[in-house]
Amino acid sequence: MDKDIIDYKETKFINGLRIITIKKSTNLFSIHAGIKIGSIYEEKNKKGISHFVEHMLFKGTKSRSNEELNNELESIGGEYNAYTDYNCTVVHVSGLIEEMKKALSLIEDMLVNCNFPEKEIEREKKVILAEIKTSVDDVEDYSFKKAHEIAYKNSPIKYETIGNENTVKNFSRKDICGFYNKYYVPNNCYISIVSSMEHDDIINMVKEYFERWTGRNFKLRDIIIENNIPIKKTTFKKNIEQSSIIYIFTFHNLDKRLELALKILNNKFGESANSILFRELREKRGLAYDVYSELDTSSFVKSLYIYTAVGKENIEKTINCIDNCIEKIKNEEILFDIESINLMKKILKTAIILTLEDTSELCNYALHQMIENEDIYSFLSDMNNLKNIKKEEIYEAAREVLKDPTIHILLPKESDIFE
């Protein structure tokens, strides 16, 4: 696998807009347009405003009503949606290649000409408040929310991207328009496009719609980066049967070599269907149905999570089991050999090829690499460096990361355990 695997070109317009075009043999196109603004850049009393603006992008423009805009998006006959992440807000459309120009014109209208009708704002508040209530009803989502609140004092990742009831209820049209006008500018916008068209043809098409968009000065808020607080805390929730346990470990200062070793560790520890945690908690002891570990290497996040749901009577046994697994790894009692490393290489290569084969996934990957100012070929460096990872580095990564966790326990309200 070499650098010829992706035929791409990066272009920056005079107004600051950056685009990446990828030429691929396909009858489809995919466009992902991202604004570098998300929940980590929001003020405390404006939490959720990035997500609110994302919803409002579909509610009408200066030339199209809510219904007209969504009917035209629907008429493309493909897929369209949007999402808000910690660091960006993304609109994406995929479909048949002959629909690409229309899709591009609609995305331009949404990003440049959104008009935020007052009635739509009030209606969307109800939708988002319902979304917040739904996340509270989901035990896993709620557990992660509480774990993040406990794990950090000032870090913006302690707050939900969606915001909270108080902030959402208080958003005014002035707040929303001010936020949109400040950050939705071409010099804060990134567009990735995957199609079979020539690079220059796509660049000219983008120019047709976006070149007249005027750039403005803005400044993103500085991000507070925090390690998790080492604490064990229990919270309670009504109307749940299962209890949950979440561990959070942060690793902001881990070098790239050990971060790569951590990926190998995580796969064997709790990511795979035959992981250490799965075999110990479920297969050997029957303590849990669902258990996994998850690694987030995004800037400002850099966290490893452990999640499991268990009966309240098995809380202590489960925590002891997880702690015991961690200690066995750190003490090198669990073997990480060449077979484990080769398996991780195979898994990584499979994941890369799956991304490269999927037009939308490739488009999304390229967009985030651009937003993070990362090389589009960083996966090749990872694969090459993976060859040199030794078991000693995996154990070193374990000792560096798997210490001083935040542990959040969620119990049914009526329980008196830990009270």
Contact 265, 292 (CB under 8 A): no
One domain, residues 203 and 243: no
Beta-bridge partners for 294: 305
Residue 333 has a pLDDT of 93
Residues 134 and 89 in one domain: yes
| Separation of alpha carbons 345 and 125, rounded Å | 46
In the sheet that holds 231-237, the strands lie side by side as 231-237, 406-412, 243-250, 303-310, 288-296
Domain count, the chain: 2
Q: Are 72 and 147 in a shared domain?
A: yes
The enclosing H or E element of 323 equals helix 315-330
**Whose structure tokens read 């991202």?**
34
pLDDT score at 419: 42
Domain match, 390 and 276 both: yes
Q: Is residue 218 part of a domain?
A: no
In a shared domain, residues 137 and 268:
no
Residues 20 and 58 reside in one and the same domain: yes
Residue 203 C-alpha from the chain's centroid: 28
Amino acid, res. 105: S
Asked if 318 and 377 sit in the same domain, the reply is yes
Other CB atoms within 10 Å distance of the CB of residue 78: 18
Q: How confident is the model at residue 418 (pLDDT cuts 50, 70, 90)?
A: very low
Which is nearest to 276 in space by CA: 343, 337, 321, 338? Answer: 321
Asked if the structure places residue 271 within a domain, the reply is yes
Question: How much is the average pLDDT of 121-135?
Answer: 93
Residue 21 is assigned to a structural domain of this protein: yes
pLDDT tens, position by position, 250-266: 999 999 999 999 999 99
**288-296 and 406-412 strand pairing:** unpaired
Instruction: Report the interhelical angle of 338-357 vs 256-266 (nearest 10°).
Output: 90
Does a structural domain hold residue 125? Answer: yes
Confidence of residue 2 (pLDDT cuts 50, 70, 90): low
Q: Are residues 377 and 290 in the same domain?
A: yes
Q: Which domain holds residue 335?
A: 231-412
pLDDT at position 218 is 95
Looking at 151, 181, 210, the residue that finishes a domain is 210
Same domain for 193 and 273? Answer: no
Residue 318 exposed, middle or buried by CB count within 10 Å (0-12, 13-18, 19+): buried
Q: Output the domain CATH number for residue 135.
A: 3.30.830.10
- The string of pLDDT tens digits covering residues 4-26 is 789 999 999 999 999 999 999 99
User: Is residue 220 assigned to a domain?
Assistant: no
93: three-class secondary structure by DSSP: strand
Q: Show which of 210, 240, 275 is a domain's final residue.
A: 210
Mean pLDDT of 369-381: 92
Structure tokens at 325: 């697994």
Residue 226: inside a domain: no
In a domain, 219, yes or no: no
| 292 plus 163 within the same structural domain | no
What are the pLDDT digits (tens) for 16-67?
Answer: 999 999 999 999 999 999 999 999 999 999 999 999 999 999 999 999 999 9
17: number of Cβ within 10 Å: 22
Measured torsion, CA atoms of residues 297, 338, 404, 305, in degrees rounded to the nearest 10: 40
387 to 29, 271, 390: CA distances (angstroms): 35, 21, 8
User: Does one domain contain both 34 and 94?
Assistant: yes
Q: Which of 252, 211, 244, 247 is nearest to 230 (CA)?
A: 247
In a domain, 133, yes or no: yes
Helices (H), 98-172: 100-113, 118-137, 139-151, 165-170
Instruction: State yes or no: pLDDT of 335 exceeds 50.
Output: yes
State which H helix or E strand residue 92 sits in. Answer: strand 89-96
- Tell me the angle at which helices 378-386 and 256-266 cross, rounded to the nearest 10 degrees: 70
Q: What is the mean pLDDT of residues 368-391?
A: 89
Domain shared by 201 and 91, yes or no: yes
- Final residue in a domain of this structure, among 210, 240, 259: 210
H or E element, residue 296: strand 288-296
Per-chain mean pLDDT for the chain: 94
For residue 81, list its beta bridge partners: 92
- pLDDT confidence band for 310 (50 / 70 / 90): very high
